[in-house]
Structure 1
Amino acid sequence: MKNDFLLQMSDIQNTTPEYMETLFTLSNGHMGLRGSDLIQDIHKTGNPGTFVNGFYEKKPIIYGEWAYGYAENHQTIIKLPDIRGIILTVNGHRSDEEEWMIKKDTFMLNMAKGLIEESYQIQTINGESFRFSAESFTSFEHSEIYTSKYTISDSNFSGEIVIEKDLSVNKKSDHHSEVDDPRVASMKSDLTVEKYDERLEQLKTHKSQQSILFGQVNLVNGKANYKSLILDIKKNEKMTGYNFVIVSEILKQTKDRPAINELNRLINDLEYELLLKKQEEYFNEFWAVSDIELSGQDKLQKGIRFNLFQLFQNAGRNSTTNFAAKGLTGEGYEGHYFWDTEMYILPFFIYTQPDIAKSLLTYRSYVLPQAKKRAEKLHQKGALFAWRTIDGDEASAYYPAGTAQVHINADISHAFQLYERVTGDHQFMKETGAEVVFETARFWLSFGHFGNKEGQRQFCIDGVTGPDEYTALVNNNYYTNKMAQSNLSYAVELAGQYPEMITEFENSQWQDAARNMYLPYDEKKQIIKQDDSFLDKEVWPFEETPKENYPLLLHYHPMIIYKYQVSKQADGLLAPLLFPNDYDKEQIIRDYNYYEGVTTHDSSLSRSVFSILASRTGQKKKAYNYFMDTALMDIVDLQGNAKDGVHAANMGGSWLSLIYGFAGLSYQGSDLIIENNLPDEISNLAFTLNLRGNLIKIYLDNCKVRGKIIQKGKFIQLEELDNQLIVRFNK
């Protein structure tokens, strides 16, 4: 196996327990468990735990001063017990009570197969020694199963070794969250625990009214034990046992009989080797269509594969859950779903794993009723999706950087549009997506207004916050207006296909608003204006700001930050990234040069945007430097907070930097265009796109682009030019 599919301790710089746990997390979209120390000893450290996608608790938000329409409840993903860690007992002596010698020989995340492989040389306080090996994974064949294979060998004694897991719920944790950092979860949850049967307990939340079944089965020589794994060891002989931890899908009702019956059938048929075989098949299929190959960059190659691996394993797949900002790798951002999914993560899935993309988009349809209620609460028509949420209700307690980011509506519409364009799945749009697009279009018409701008009647959107959270509650944020225009135009396009779903009057209103959308522009500087007032503010005193005062949000009051011209992340520059045909190269360069000078990149979402636009405008060195920060962000802990979970949107951004940037993916009419923008440091790039059922392998090298259809789907043609590949879809 290639070494660049194996993440090992030698690959990373920061080896603190919390950081290691994040990077070595195993997940399958349903459950995720942090890669904590396997063998619990008296020096136990870190922040181990298990998360279930969408399993959360509510708690009322307490405001010092309440106002109408504020979000009502916190929503926080629940950290369940560590289902990975084990306690060893050898002839009555426990590993967590005595000073044993535990030497870690191997510890690696096998990204080719989706499992962790590790081995230890162990010597007890009494001199018993043996080798302990483990192989474990979260099953993709049955997402409710986490399983481990334990092997004892090279023992210098005969006797009994007991392997136990402490699955006690609501036990005290030694870990304390940094509650002064708004990016970290600050609420802890208690669960009601009821015995379900000898194998399982039922864990119930109090406020969110959810429950799961939680327990374990141990197998040795085909015999089951539900408490511990007991191995009778013979000197120098090998002995193997298996552990299966069951974490059921979320049960909305405590007597969800069909789900429980299916779970019981699954438990009765547990077979490790079969699950392992299926696991390898899942990952073989994933890498066959999603891998990206780079030349001469070993660390970079591994970093990119790590990002793709984490994207694949952390995506919700059941249409009722989504992709949390940290995936299922930590407590950062409380397990909430943001616009990150649609704008940074979904393109990867749309172009490589469309079924997963479809599930993630279906989640937005699933929570559309809550979005409609939110719009009604704000006395608006249509639907307003929550800025941060798990169940669809708004959970952002600070509305200037939360609810005011209404661009999320257009972000969601844009993702549906991209999905339809790439997959050709018009049936899904008719049955699921069109309603979401129409309801978001209705919101814009209600929330915005026609006003006089520069002597013309134009559609304006006031009192909003764009992607730049260091600039809040402004009029006519450029990105928001551009995306709303696209949302309205797409609604008009769909209305032509499904006229029975809308009225003639609102269709004409959408056309009017889109045609006359106000997009602020500074004629003197010849650059787009981030909003009506951004360029009128004093520029942040960057030269007087010490490095330790970044990110600014942790060192300055919002009142101070908001009065300056300073961007947390790319904002207006997202427009030419998403709509490249609307801007000439000179315009993009002017905008780029200006906004680069006032952007702190305090958000992990920022650098990929700057990399892509640098690629497209011939600034190869900048493109490469920004890309390297993006590609290796978590492996080098660039932001300093990977211990709280991976930066999932940035991982999606690393894919975008390669495909939208170095490979220049864009559209001209209905044709897809690939251009060679490779930096000098990368001589070869190869990747696969899934375009309407066609798998196309694309190769970039020496200023050339080549394409090869490796699986034929709907009608398609490839045209190779010197530095460009054109993919044409036959109608």
Structure 2
Amino acid sequence: MNQDYIIADAWSIIEEGFDKERVKSSESLFSIGNGAMGQRANFEENYSGPTFQGSYIGGVYYPDKTRVGWWKNGYPEYFAKVINAPSWIGIQVFINDEELDLNSCTAVDNYKRELNMKEGWHRRSFEATMPNKMKVAVRATRFLSMALDEVGAIKYEVTPLSGDAKVKFIPYLDSGITNEDTNWDDKFWNTTEVLSEGSQAFIKAHTMKTHFDTCTFMECSLEYDGNKVDQKPEERTEEKWVGHTYTQETAQGKTTVLYKFGGYTVSRNHKPGELVDAAKSVLRQATTAGFEAMLKQQAEAWASIWEMSDITIEGDVKAQQGIRFNIFHLNQTYTGKDSRLNIGPKGFTGEKYGGSTYWDTEAYGLPFYMSTKDQLVARKLLKYRYNHLEKAIENAKKLGFNNGAALYPMVTMNGEECHNEWEITFEEIHRNGAIAYAIYNYYRYTGDYSYIPEMGLEVLIGIARFWHQRASFSEHKQKYVILGVTGPNEYENNVNNNWYTNYIAKWCINYTLEQLQKVKDGYSEDYERITGKTKLSPTETEKWKKVADQMYFPYSEEKGIYLQQDGFLDKELITVADLDKKQRPINQKWSWDRILRSPYIKQADVLQGFYFFEDHFTEEELEKHFDFYEPFTVHESSLSPCVHSIQAAKLDRMEQAYAFYLRTSRLDLDDYNKEVEEGLHITSMAGTWMSIVEGFGGMRIRNDKLSFNPRIPKQWKSYSFKINFRDRILKVHISKERTVLTLDAKEEMSLRLNGQKVVLQPGTATEV
């Protein structure tokens, strides 16, 4: 059974009723972020029950030493982690000197949480009966400012319901925090100074090893019955903690409010010696504006984001809630302001995967950001990889490659490989192909070729060199083979000739050769600069071409399909439908040995290739491969349902496409994989966007123009989305009867709809 406690609502994530078993899941689901920092939805007041505390700062990480046995050659020395940062949200709350703790209250009534996605805030309200018999109503509203991205704000309201009460707040900062996920229980933070100045407090700390200097700060004020209370707080400082005490005699039915502004200034953006001054500056801006004005500013910032990135679905509130939840978290995780940052698979919602960058960004994230932001945001994601090219060459060198061959890391913070599972670190080399594909995809979509001669061609050369060296010639097959790999299906390790890996290797080499010729013909100065810098010769590129031309692909004549890898048909081919449901998910029920011997596929593998390179195959070939592989797919990767939804929609299997769409869009809301308490699946959320725009909307780039082949699930009355295509905004509205296209641009634009040419005029709606 999937979880089913989130109330269906078009614009909000809502939980009603307090259940201790759900606290950790809700901490993930109600997480907030602003691109620069983020936090799990932990309670502001202390909670003694099971909880997963988490506050994170973009780009601040720790190199946790790898745990590895005897075989260390080429192994990454560390696994980088976005670490739990000093906390600024904490507020101890005392009613008549007894601490408010929902874990020990005798009753918690009218409990409600809301994550308002339209305006970007989180609110919790409840009525609590405490052991001392006092009953209080609490309402806590919190947001991380999109406008001032170093600061967040809390409005914490307490109303005594069963008599007058002394209400005491102790807002605090705490740098004595630990990570849930650590290899050696290292100390990640060193606290250097704890300061308290009137209503403000600061903790200066730096990360060990990486030495990111941070200042965690707060400023608080009190209000009673709508009026500001001028009260100098009592100060208490400890080695890693600072708190301010505010006390207010509160009449029954009257409300005492604590306003708390807090956040981080970091040496990534300021000089280390100026962090406290920078904190005071941003606090001055926040407190001058005040909570309500900043909340209004937050709503305006989100209105601007939604104006471009919203997808509307009419007639299916769960589907609508799902896609908005996905789009909301994508925009909380990465705003495109800072090219040093990227998109972690958990974003700011947990610690799994270290908060690092994976191939997910290029394969799944890029289309969303290209289409819903301006192309500079997508270009920054590609620039991130160019900036790490030297590290990718170093990574390959550690594994024995030479001559500038580049292997991009599976997991990284700064370009270095930092994943510590050998079957992924050494073998899941198809990630190199995703980097090259993103370059191709960016140019195809934006029409901006300048990235390739400026940066991209060097990246492509490094990748092509890697594939040339990684392939070996088989005398037996008289073909080039790629041995000892893990494909996208991580339930198969150390296999030979994974079809997807071999196919993308061949494509990468051919695409690089094409771009070399194009840059030579049109950008001769760049060509001379790049070939001189990389020492590339025609003799070398001839060798690449030989590998591409003679690449081996495992194929079954009997079934008429490409095989996922050599020997796939030797497995006991029992479909998922015939698998005992009690055995699912197999990654939590089976030994790794048993999984590796099974035919079960974690995510699209051969079908990932058919998704990337669909123009290379007929629809009949897609259908044949979909019918063979999908029945063996357990979809235990968050990246699986979206690709299958797109493929099913292309095959006009709308019931299946819709089921996969619901699974990808509500993967976390309904906790399909039974792991949501660890954090959300941010990069698969970009796949959800693709499943509507590319799946149901049928959007493609064909002959340098947009093309749509729209379909609509029977459960929906209509749906709509916007895309930014080469600085022209196109709104697409699809219903069962018609498609309406509206162009926001200076000049007309032609595209294809269901194979027919349509010419759109600026500012007018075209109905088809």
Q: Give the structure-1-normalised TM-score.
A: 0.89
CA offset digits 1:430-455 (Å, max 9, x no partner):
44433323322222222224556866
CA offset digits 1:531-584 (Å, max 9, x no partner):
233234443586885433333344444444334433222101111211221111
Of the three residues 392, 409, 417, the one matched with 2:415 is 392
Of the three residues 396, 402, 406, the one matched with 1:383 is 406
SS in structure 2 of the partner of residue 319 of structure 1? coil
SS in structure 1 of the partner of residue 266 of structure 2? coil
Q: Which residue of 2 aligns with 1:718?
A: 750
Of the three residues 471, 474, 482, the one matched with 1:461 is 482
Mapped to 2, the partners of 1:246 and 1:300 lie a distance apart of 34
Correspondence list, 1:108-257, <5 A? 108-122=114-128, 130-152=136-158, 161-170=167-176, 188-190=185-187, 191-195=189-193, 197-198=195-196, 199-220=201-222, 221=228, 227-228=243-244, 230=246, 232=248, 235=251, 236-249=253-266, 251=268, 256-257=272-273
CA contact (8 A) 2:705 2:750 kept: no
Mapped to 2, the partners of 1:114 and 1:589 lie a distance apart of 42
Q: Which residue of 1 aligns with 2:360?
A: 340
1:684 shift after superposition: 1.3
Identify if the C-alpha distance between structure 1 residues 168 and 719 changes in structure 2 by more than 3 Å, giving closer, same or farther: closer
Of the three residues 426, 430, 437, the one matched with 1:407 is 430
CA contact (8 A) 1:33 1:82 kept: no
Structure 2 residue 24 is matched with structure 1 residue 18: yes
CA contact (8 A) 2:136 2:159 kept: yes
Correspondence list, 1:403-442, <5 A? 403-442=426-465
CA contact (8 A) 1:384 1:409 kept: yes
Identify if the C-alpha distance between structure 1 residues 446 and 454 changes in structure 2 by more than 3 Å, giving closer, same or farther: closer
CA contact (8 A) 2:722 2:730 kept: yes
Identify if the C-alpha distance between structure 1 residues 28 and 11 changes in structure 2 by more than 3 Å, giving closer, same or farther: farther
Letter in 1 for 2:78: N
Letter in 2 for 1:529: L
Identify if the C-alpha distance between structure 1 residues 351 and 507 changes in structure 2 by more than 3 Å, giving closer, same or farther: farther
1:262 shift after superposition: 3.8
Correspondence list, 1:310-349, <5 A? 310-315=329-334, 317=336, 318-349=338-369
CA contact (8 A) 1:394 1:403 kept: no
1:645 shift after superposition: 0.6
CA contact (8 A) 1:699 1:706 kept: yes
SS in structure 2 of the partner of residue 327 of structure 1? coil
Structure 2 residue 491 is matched with structure 1 residue 474: no
CA contact (8 A) 2:215 2:264 kept: yes
Letter in 2 for 1:616: K
Letter in 1 for 2:750: L
Identify if the C-alpha distance between structure 1 residues 11 and 531 changes in structure 2 by more than 3 Å, giving closer, same or farther: farther
Correspondence list, 1:629-640, <5 A? 629-640=663-674
SS in structure 1 of the partner of residue 701 of structure 2? strand
SS in structure 1 of the partner of residue 325 of structure 2? helix
Q: Which residue of 1 aligns with 2:504?
A: 483
CA offset digits 1:380-413 (Å, max 9, x no partner):
1321111123333222222113331111111012
1:77 shift after superposition: 2.7
Deviates more, 1:416-425 or 1:4-13: 4-13
1:427 shift after superposition: 3.7
Mapped to 1, the partners of 2:458 and 2:171 lie a distance apart of 47
Identify if the C-alpha distance between structure 1 residues 222 and 258 changes in structure 2 by more than 3 Å, giving closer, same or farther: farther
Identify if the C-alpha distance between structure 1 residues 258 and 675 changes in structure 2 by more than 3 Å, giving closer, same or farther: farther
SS in structure 1 of the partner of residue 415 of structure 2? coil
Unaligned runs of 5+ in 2: 1-7, 223-227, 234-241, 520-525, 762-768
Mapped to 2, the partners of 1:637 and 1:305 lie a distance apart of 17
1:613 shift after superposition: 0.8
Identify if the C-alpha distance between structure 1 residues 321 and 705 changes in structure 2 by more than 3 Å, giving closer, same or farther: same
1:300 shift after superposition: 1.4
Q: Which residue of 1 aligns with 2:89?
A: 84
CA contact (8 A) 2:16 2:110 kept: no
CA contact (8 A) 1:100 1:123 kept: yes
Structure 2 residue 309 is matched with structure 1 residue 276: no
1:24 shift after superposition: 0.5
CA contact (8 A) 1:396 1:403 kept: no
Identify if the C-alpha distance between structure 1 residues 273 and 440 changes in structure 2 by more than 3 Å, giving closer, same or farther: farther
Mapped to 1, the partners of 2:255 and 2:737 lie a distance apart of 55
Letter in 2 for 1:324: G
Identify if the C-alpha distance between structure 1 residues 516 and 693 changes in structure 2 by more than 3 Å, giving closer, same or farther: farther
SS in structure 2 of the partner of residue 64 of structure 1? coil
CA contact (8 A) 1:160 1:230 kept: no
Q: Which residue of 1 aligns with 2:60?
A: 55
Identical counterparts, % of pairs: 27
Deviates more, 1:202-211 or 1:521-530: 202-211
Deviates more, 1:314-323 or 1:244-253: 244-253
Unaligned runs of 5+ in 1: 178-183
Letter in 2 for 1:575: G
Correspondence list, 1:663-678, <5 A? 663-678=697-712
Deviates more, 1:567-576 or 1:332-341: 332-341
1:693 shift after superposition: 1.0
Letter in 1 for 2:365: I
1:301 shift after superposition: 0.7
Mapped to 2, the partners of 1:319 and 1:659 lie a distance apart of 26
Mapped to 1, the partners of 2:758 and 2:470 lie a distance apart of 40
Q: Which residue of 1 aligns with 2:281?
A: 265
Mapped to 2, the partners of 1:508 and 1:728 lie a distance apart of 45
CA contact (8 A) 2:151 2:263 kept: yes
CA contact (8 A) 2:481 2:551 kept: yes
1:209 shift after superposition: 2.9
Q: Which residue of 2 aligns with 1:181?
A: none
1:310 shift after superposition: 1.1
1:17 shift after superposition: 0.7
Correspondence list, 1:290-309, <5 A? 290-309=309-328
Identify if the C-alpha distance between structure 1 residues 703 and 572 changes in structure 2 by more than 3 Å, giving closer, same or farther: farther
1:284 shift after superposition: 0.8
Q: Which residue of 1 aligns with 2:3?
A: none
Q: Which residue of 1 aligns with 2:236?
A: none
Mapped to 2, the partners of 1:636 and 1:117 lie a distance apart of 21
SS in structure 2 of the partner of residue 471 of structure 1? coil
1:428 shift after superposition: 4.0
Of the three residues 31, 41, 44, the one matched with 2:37 is 31
1:707 shift after superposition: 1.4
Mapped to 1, the partners of 2:579 and 2:246 lie a distance apart of 60
Mapped to 2, the partners of 1:483 and 1:673 lie a distance apart of 24
Mapped to 1, the partners of 2:268 and 2:740 lie a distance apart of 49
Mapped to 2, the partners of 1:188 and 1:285 lie a distance apart of 43
Q: How many residues align?
A: 714
Deviates more, 1:634-643 or 1:62-71: 62-71
Mapped to 2, the partners of 1:83 and 1:619 lie a distance apart of 50
